Copies of this chain bind each other. A is one copy, B any other.
Amino acid sequence: MALIVQKFGGASVANPQRIKNVACIVQKTKQNGNDVVVVVSAPGDTTDDLIKLSSGISSSVSDREMDMLLSTGEQVSIALLAMALQEKGEKTISLSGGQAGIITDGIYGKAKIIKIEPRHILSNLRKGKIVIIAGFQGITMDGEITTLGRGGSDTTAVALAAALNADLCEIYTDVKGIYTTDPRVVSKARCLPCISYGEVLEMASLGAKVLHPRAAEIAKNFNIQLRVRSSFDVHNEGTLVQGRGTKMVRRKSQQIEKMAVAGVAADKNQAKVTIVNVPDRPGIVSKIFEPIASENISVDMIIQNVSHRGFADVSFTINRSELQKVLRIVKKVAKEIKSKGVTSAADIAKVSIVGAGMYSYPGVAARMFTALARQRINIEMISTSEIKISCVVKEKQADLAVKALHREFRLDKK
C-alpha cells in the first residue's frame, strides 16, 4: 500500500461536474489500495473574482486581509470535493491549511511553509479516510491565516508529500503534462514523458505554468517522485519528474543521443526597470536591491552595463504586478544615490530555452540569438545559467519568438 498525494488545480474543480470527475479519480486511487491525500486549489476563476471584488473596495488592500479573503476559495473546494466523495460512499474529511497543520511564516500573500505538523492528517488516514486539504494556504504560529502566493497549491502538495514521506505526488492539471513549449502557442509542441528536476525548475520559474518553481525546488530537495498529468485524460500518464539518482543516468544518455534543449518558455508577466546613470562605486547596487528585498519582492534578471565615465545603467526584471510598488521604492533610492532617473516598461516578456545538456553544447546561445534576429525580434536583456538562456523581448513578439525557437531546436521531433 502506497501513500499518494494528488493535487488538482482550479480548472479541475471549476464546477460540480468537474468536482465529481476529480472524486472518481481519487476514489479509483483509494480503491487500488492506496492511502490518499488530496490537495485542491480554489475553483476556476474564484481567486481572480475575489481580487476583483476587493479592488472595487480599495486600491491598496492590506496583505493580511487579502489572505483572509482569498483563503476562502480553497475552503469551498475542499468542502465540495469531500461531499462528492462522501456521495460515492468514501470516508472523507476536509481540512483547511491550518487544520492540516501547515505552519508558515507571517509574510502574508507569499508565506513560506516552515513546517507541517501532520498529526491530524495521519490520524484521519489511520481511520481509513481520504484526507482533502486546502492548497495555497497555511497558518502562522499565532493562528493568522496566510497564503503561499499564486501557484502555491503545488507547493502545498509537494511539501505534504515530503512531510508525509509519500511514495508519489501527482499534479493533475488541465494539460497532458510538461510540454516542450506552450501548446497553445506552438501547435507542434510535444508532451515530454520525463524531465529532470533541474529542467522543470527552470521551465517553471520561466513561466511555463507547469509547476510552481517552489514546488519543483522542494521536490528536488526531498527527492520526491512527481507526476504531472491531466485530470481530463487519465489514460495519459503525463510527465514523470524524476529523482536525482534516476535523472543522472537517464538524462546523461538522453544528452548524448538527443537534443540539448528540452523546452521553450515565455513569461509574459514581467516588467523591466532601469536606473539610469548609477554612480559606479562599491555598495551602490546593494543600496538599490536591499530595500526591494526587504519588501519581499523577488527580482529576476539583473543586468549592469559596463561603466561609462564612472556611471552605469542598472536594469532588472520583476513580476509585473509589483511594478508600482517597486517604482515607489526605486525612485526614492535613485534620488539618494544621485542617479539620473528611473525608466520602466511593462510590455515585455521573457523567452527562454531550457535544457540540462545545454552547457556541453557550444553555440546554443548563438543559435537562439540568430533565430530571434531572423524574425526581427530585438533582444533587450540576456541572462544565462548552466541549463537555460533567457532573453527579454517586447511582449507582442513573445509568441513569435517561442515559435521560432521551438522550430530552431526541432522540439517537435522526438
Contact = CB atoms under 8 A, between A and B. Distances in A.
Interface stretch (A70-78, A186-194, A406-414): A70-78
Interface string A332-368: 0000000000000000000000000000000000000
A60 interface: yes
Nearest to A58: B87
A265 interface: no
Nearest to A52: B16
Nearest to A68: B79
Contact of A19 (B15, B16, B57): B57
A57 B83 contact: yes
Given A68-B78, A71-B75, A99-B143, A62 B50 contact: no
A145 B96 contact: yes
B58 A84 contact: yes
A79 B60 contact: no
A89 to B, nearest CB: 11
A20 B94 CA distance: 34
A69 interface: yes
A84 B57 contact: yes
A65 B87 contact: no
A157 interface: no
A65 to B, nearest CB: 5
A259 interface: no
A16 to B, nearest CB: 4
Nearest to A73: B72
Given A62-B82, A143-B99, A68 B75 contact: yes
Contacts of A143: 98-99
Interface size, A (range): 35 or more
A38 to B, nearest CB: 14
A123 to B, nearest CB: 11
A83 B71 contact: no
Copy number in this complex?
2
Nearest to A145: B96
Contacts of A307: none
A387 to B, nearest CB: 41
Contact of A87 (B57, B78, B79): B57
A99 B59 CA distance: 26
A57 B94 contact: no
Interface string A68-112: 110111011011101110110000011010110000000000000
Contacts of A83: 54, 57-58, 61-62, 65-66, 69
Interface string A181-209: 00000000000000000000000000000
A53 interface: yes
A56 interface: yes
A65 B86 contact: yes
A312 to B, nearest CB: 40
A76 B72 contact: yes
Given A57-B84, A98-B143, 10 more contacts: A16-B53, A16-B56, A19-B57, A20-B57, A62-B82, A62-B83, A65-B79, A69-B76, A72-B75, A75-B75
8 contacts: A15-B56, A20-B57, A57-B80, A65-B82, A65-B83, A68-B78, A68-B79, A72-B76
Q: Which 6 A-B pairs have the closest CB atoms?
A: A69-B79, A16-B56, A58-B87, A72-B72, A68-B79, A58-B83
